[in-house]
Amino acid sequence: MSETAQQAAAAAQARRLARYALLVCALTLAAAVLSFVRGNWLGVVWLLMTGLSSNMAWYYARRARTAR
């Protein structure tokens, strides 16, 4: 496999991982809101997971941008 093909594959994989992380971010945010609305303090854990997945989405999006 040539070097440019490997870079393209790495960029595509990073974009895909960024999209998945963004989806997880949205779902954990919805779970946090539902937990707090129901009066459950477990929403704090969901908020922490939202922050983690948001950071992962930014990381993979930047990685995809630099791989191009």
Cα 45 to Cα 62: distance, rounded to the nearest angstrom: 26
pLDDT at 51 over 90: yes
Which range marks the domain in which residue 51 is found?
A: 1-67
DSSP H helices, the chain, are 3-37, 43-67
| pLDDT of res. 44 | 96
| pLDDT of res. 5 | 82
Q: Read off the pLDDT of residues 6-28 as tens digits, 9 standing for 90 and up.
A: 888 888 999 999 999 999 999 99
Number of domains in the chain: 1
The pTM for the full model equals: 0.85
| pLDDT of res. 62 | 94
